[in-house]
Amino acid sequence: MSTTHTGVPTALPHPVPAAEYQACPVTDVLQLLGDKWTLLLISLLGQRPYRFNELHRAVDGISQRMLTRTLRTLETDGLVEREVFPTVPPSVEYRLSPLGTSLLEPVSALAGWAVTHHGEIVAARGRR
């Protein structure tokens, strides 16, 4: 194996095939959580169930469309359960599924890191 002046091997010990990391569970989950509203909705639903317009009012700034879309994605991925009450007018309740609830723990760990270190990130950004 040839090396450069830096001592870094030029041959790769672990090449990453596209098919692998595109299906990477971690990347997939991170992208699921990384959008604009998902995490906030999960944390709200982690407190208690919410109804649609209740969420709409709770999350200042979210559009009806994005609230619907984000909830649909979470429902499709099995993190949120949607229950329709056939009343007039209709009422729909959203709650975390057991799977979604289990997600609260590792998210909290990352949230803890974020709270602790976000200042450093902001400081680094401030330097350029």
Partner DNA sequence: CAGAATCCGGATAGATACTG
Partner DNA sequence: CAGTATCTATCCGGATTCTG
Residues lying near DNA in the complex (CB under 7 A) are found at 35-36, 51-54, 61-66, 68-69, 71-72, 82, 89-93
Which partner, DNA, its own copies, none, binds residue 3 by CB below 5 to 8 Å per kind?
none
Q: Are 92 and 109 in contact (CB under 8 A)?
A: no
Minimum Å gap between C-beta 83 and DNA is 10
Minimum Å gap between C-beta 64 and DNA is 5
Closer CB to DNA, 72 or 118, in the complex: 72
A 10 A CB-CB count for 92 gives: 14
In Å, how far from its chain's centre is CA 66? 14
